[in-house]
Amino acid sequence: MSMKRFGKAAYRIANEARLASRHGRFFRPFSAVIIERHRLHNREDWRRKFEPIRREPRSIDLVERIKQIFGNSVRYNEDLKSSEWPNRIDSYEFGEFLGQGCNAAVYSAKLSNDELEIPNSKFGVGFNEVTDILAEVPPVSKVVQKKYPLAIKLMFNFEHDKDGDAHLWSSMGCELAPYPNAAKLLNGRMGNFTPLPAKHPNVVRIQTAFVDSLKVLPDAIERYPDALHTARWYESIASQPKTMYVVMRRYRQTLHEYVWTHHRNYWTGRVMMAQLLEACTFLHQHKVSQRDMKSDNILLEYDFDDEIPQLVIADFGCALACDDWQVPYENDDVNLGGNTKTRAPEVSTAKPGKNVKVNFEMADTWAAGGLSYEILTRSNPFYKHLDTATYQELELPALPSRVNFIARDVIFDLLKRNPTERVKPNIAANALNLSLFRMGEDVKQMMEKCGISQMTTLLAGASKGLSQKVNSHLDQVINLITAETIMANLAPHLISRAERQLRATFLSRMNREDVWRSLQYFFPPGIQLDTSATSSDCFESVSSLISSLSNGSKDFETQKKPMKNGYNAPLLLKNVIRTDSDGINGIVHRIRSK
């Protein structure tokens, strides 16, 4: 090779080395990957390569997002918590006798190795130091947990001459209708029995259930001798007498006891009605009928006498849970449920015969109407004065004038004789829930200012085709309701635990169509409606409501920052609202922060 050719080759190699070093190929080898990526992305064919499978980001609807927040977060739904409970009777220590029925006795209980615990505070889930900023109200004193926080239902076994436990599960399994693990325990022993698939804050909490040896307690021979294996008629008994035990959360009082030991408060009564209807909504959704809705089977939990209680439906021994509302009624031997005085008209008027079926779809909903009378007036008209089979709707006693008009109308619609004319439990629950939100002024006036009143005329024939603009007005109200509920959870000593849970339950299941239907209680069809409200009126109304929650309208008017989604979060954080314990219609108090 001549020197000339060698010089050219050397120059070329040196130039490539210089370029390589410039682009980092030799000294920064990974930079070449970045250069290649940019080169490919600048090519037209590369940019279009994945267009057929590219997906646009899906926008989440406001209502769906709210349902996710309140339905999937432990902060707002304590029923999402789970724990394991022992399935041996020796693991529990029995306390006092609580009550007895035809099929079981109930005792207070606790775990044998359980120690008395003092919780950090009464406030529960969601409490934090933000509470000290929101208000000048001092923290409530700590509450000592019950010594016996459980209740064990000892089921009566009248067949101690049978071995095994299959007959116990099949004959007593209805008690487990509210227990989500019941299907696994029963293992097909009850045919098409379909228990509730999940827990609910207004349905009795069953921790576990099991079959074990019969525990003869000191008072057993005196209270229920016929349910023991020592009953005189047995010629022979099983080698090991057994029975079923149902371990539940212990509650403080029945509804019947509560209404006669507490002063009437119509706001508290409305909250209790809403909780009862939320439970009925949950049962109706899963085709379960309790069929024995009386005040002794409604349990309440509260810590202080002036606190709004948490309400649950209990005692599912007569429950219908087979994924079908129809029950064949060919003869009088068919069990139609509990007390005849609390049976719905379509049940109490049924006559046995060939191909006759009784429909229980709206039976619990009707019974909730009678219980609502008892909550508000201490008297259920069907216990003594009216016969469920023959009463007429005009015979229903008048409610006190101080009862909220929404609660009054809901009760009369629950007690319609014709089940097809009866209001659905979810619609009734929606109406009561909306009436309970404390928005700084009357809820109906707030909705009128948002332009909702004239929109209800669209519900008659176009509820499925509500325009986006119409729904935006409803979304303004939902936004405000959600913000108020979140604030209530941050300051739990201002609003009762039961009411906070009720709000979260409502928001976790709501949908626009049902909310629109429930608004007919606020704006009945045929009334003169205001058609002058506009979108800006709605915005101004919501703004004025937020102003009432802030330090005053003057501070709100001088606020320079624009509001987002119809409310200003910093302003909302300045104050929290609550209702006076003696308030009938939810009198609002402004709690100023420092």
Q: How far apart are CA 442 and CA 585, in angstroms?
A: 9
Contact at 8 Å (CB) between 440 and 549?
Answer: yes
Q: With H, G, I as helix, E, B as strand and everything else as coil, classify residue 273.
A: helix
φ, ψ at 458 (rounded to 5°): -75, -15
Cα 454 from chain centroid (whole Å): 30
Which of 523-530's residues contact partners 24+ apart within 8 Å by CB, and which partners?
Answer: 523/444, 523/447, 523/452, 523/453, 523/456, 525/456, 525/457, 525/460, 529/453, 529/454, 529/456, 529/457, 530/448, 530/453, 530/454
Contact at 8 Å (CB) between 337 and 318?
Answer: yes
Respond yes or no: is residue 212 known to be catalytic. no
Q: How far apart are CA 152 and CA 247, in angstroms?
A: 5
Which one is catalytic: 163, 219, 292, 296?
292
Q: How far apart are CA 212 and CA 236, in angstroms?
A: 19
Residue type (1 letter), 499? E
Which of 550-559's residues contact partners 24+ apart within 8 Å by CB, and which partners?
Answer: 550/574, 550/575, 551/575, 551/592
Contact at 8 Å (CB) between 327 and 360?
Answer: yes
3-state secondary structure 509-578: HCCHHHHHHHHHHCCCCCCCCCCCCCHHHHHHHHHHHHHHHCCCHHHHHCCCCCCECCECHHHHHHEEEE
Tokens of 102: 């035809």
Minimal CA–CA distance to 177: which of 300, 361, 313? 313
Q: With H, G, I as helix, E, B as strand and everything else as coil, classify residue 347.
A: helix
Q: Which residues of 130-168 are buried (b: 16+ CB within 10 A; e: fewer)?
A: ebeebbeeeeeeeeeeeebbbbbbbbbbeebeeeebeeb
Minimal CA–CA distance to 416: which of 400, 392, 382? 392
Burial of 375 (0-12, 13-18, 19+ CB in 10 A): buried
- With residue 96 as reference, give the H or E element that holds it: strand 92-100
Contact at 8 Å (CB) between 195 and 187?
Answer: no
**What DSSP state is assigned to residue 317?**
T
Q: With H, G, I as helix, E, B as strand and everything else as coil, classify residue 150.
A: strand
40 Ramachandran zone, left/alpha/beta (phi>0; psi -120 to 50): alpha
Contact at 8 Å (CB) between 107 and 245?
Answer: no
Contact at 8 Å (CB) between 263 and 304?
Answer: no
Q: Which residues are catalytic?
A: 292
